[in-house]
Amino acid sequence: MRRFVPAKLSSKGSDQTLQLFEKKDLDLYTGDAIRWTASDHKRGLINADRAIVTAINQDGVTVTSSSGMEHKLKPNDPMLKRIDLAYALNAHMAQGLTADKGIAVLDSRERRLLSQSNFLVTITRPRDELTLIVDNRDKVGRGIATNLGEKTSAAEITERLGLAAAKGQRAGQIQAANQEPKVERDKEPELTKERIKPFEIGL
pLDDT of residue 62: 95
Same domain (yes/no): 92, 81: no
Are 43 and 62 part of one and the same domain?
yes
- Which DSSP state fits 14? G
* pLDDT bracket for residue 76 (50, 70, 90): very high
Q: Are residues 45 and 93 in the same domain?
A: no
Lowest mean pLDDT among 64-68, 71-75, 123-127, 179-183: 179-183
Residue 58, pLDDT > 70, answer yes
27 lies in a domain? Answer: yes
Q: Are 125 and 94 in contact (CB under 8 A)?
A: yes
The answer to the question of residue 173 being in a domain is: no
Tell me, yes or no, whether 17 lies in a domain.
Answer: no
Give residue 104's domain range: 88-157
In the listed set 69, 86, 103, which residue is the last one of a domain according to the structure?
A: 86
**Report for 63-67, 90-94, 183-187: range of highest mean pLDDT:** 63-67
Does residue 200 sit within a domain?
A: no
Tell me 140's DSSP state: H
Spatial contact of 122 and 150, defined as CB atoms under 8 Å apart:
no
In a domain, 176, yes or no: no
100, part of any domain: yes
Q: Check pLDDT > 80 for residue 191.
A: no
Q: Which residue has the higher pLDDT, 30 or 170?
A: 30
Identify which of 14, 64, 62 has the alpha carbon closest to the alpha carbon of residue 42. 14
Shared domain check, 73 and 32: yes
Q: What is the pLDDT of residues 149-187, one digit of tens each?
A: 776 666 767 777 778 788 877 777 777 777 655 555 555
82 plus 116 within the same structural domain: no
Q: For the residues 8-13, what does the mean pLDDT come to? A: 64
pLDDT of residue 199: 44
Q: Which of 132, 141, 128 is nearest to 103 (CA)?
A: 132
pLDDT at residue 200, rounded to an integer: 46
Distance CA 107, CA 136 (A): 8
- Answer yes or no: are the C-beta atoms of 122 and 88 closer than 8 Å: no
Say whether both 100 and 143 belong to one domain: yes
Residue 118 lies in a domain: yes
Tally helices (H) and strands (E) across the chain.
4, 7
**Cα 94 to Cα 121: distance, rounded to the nearest angstrom:** 7
CATH code of residue 55 = 2.30.30.30
Residues 97 and 147 in one domain: yes
Same domain, 105 and 153: yes
Place 121 in a pLDDT band, splitting at 50, 70 and 90.
confident
Structural contact between residues 62 and 53, judged by C-beta atoms closer than 8 angstroms: yes
Contacts of 133 (CB under 8 A, 6+ apart): 103, 104, 105, 106
Per the structure, the count of domains in the chain is 2
- Final residue before a domain boundary, out of 67, 86, 105: 86
Say if residue 201's pLDDT is above 50. no
The answer on 79 and 114 residing in a single domain is: no
Cα separation, 119 vs 104, in Å, equals 10
| pLDDT of 203 | 35
Give 44's strand partners: none
Of the residues 134, 157, 180, the one at which a domain ends = 157
- pLDDT, residue 26, reads 86
Q: Looking at the structure, do residues 28 and 68 belong to the same domain, yes or no?
A: yes
Candidates 86, 148, 83; CA nearest to 112 is 148
